[in-house]
Amino acid sequence: MKDLTRERTKAEMYFSLTPEERLVRNFPTTDRNIAKFLKVTSVTVCNWRKAWGAKNKKNKPQSYSDLSHEEKIEQFDNLLYELANDPKSPSKYKELFARRHGLLVDKTEQKVTHEIDGGTLAREIIKARRELENSGMAQVQSESRVLCEDLRITTGQGEDKDNQV
């Protein structure tokens, strides 16, 4: 009987690779092709695979359903990162990655929180300046630097007869 230790070692190396990795390396992808390549029977390769699987069962990654929520999210993020950085992948993956990490915000999600016109803004600035001056908390400049020259209100303008804004 022929010693098949070398063939079995090669077969176990093939078993440890994913089908995609085997394709890239031009290795046989199916058990039948492995058997032809190693010049052994398909039954022998099947037996070797079963023995290899039993031996490596403890090193086998958990199934997706056994993972915790945090581990699932981490796996998803890692996969999405790989897909987004692949130049051949669609732009939707890049968009999803950017959205997932807060790098992209939908224009429909942006909302205007305050709508204010120039006159209202000027009155609020004058009111705040007077409150600060009256409380003695700060020395405030008499001229506003916020508005452009055309919109700037001079001192006294915008007040009613009781000197209220």
> What does DSSP assign to residue 145?
S
**HEC states along 116-138?**
CCHHHHHHHHHHHHHHHHHHCCC
Average pLDDT over residues 117-136: 84
Residues ≥6 apart with Cβ < 8 Å to 41: 35
| Confidence tier at 133 by pLDDT (50, 70, 90) | confident
Res. 161 pLDDT band, cuts 50 70 90? low
What does the pLDDT average to over 81-107?
82
**What does the pLDDT read at residue 134?**
82
- Predicted TM-score (pTM) of the model is 0.34
Q: Tokens for 49, please give them.
A: 């695979």
Residue type at 144 in one-letter notation: S
Give me the pLDDT at residue 131, please.
Answer: 85
The better pLDDT of the pair 44, 165 is held by 44
Polymer length of the chain:
165
Distance, CA of 128 to CA of 132 (rounded, Å): 6
**In this model, does residue 11 exceed pLDDT 60?**
yes
Name the average pLDDT for the chain.
Answer: 76
| CA-based radius of gyration for the chain | 36
pLDDT for position 164: 61
Of 18 and 142, which is predicted with more confidence? 18
Q: Please determine, for residue 59, whether its predicted confidence score (pLDDT) is greater than 70.
A: no
Cα–Cα dist 30/37, whole Å: 10
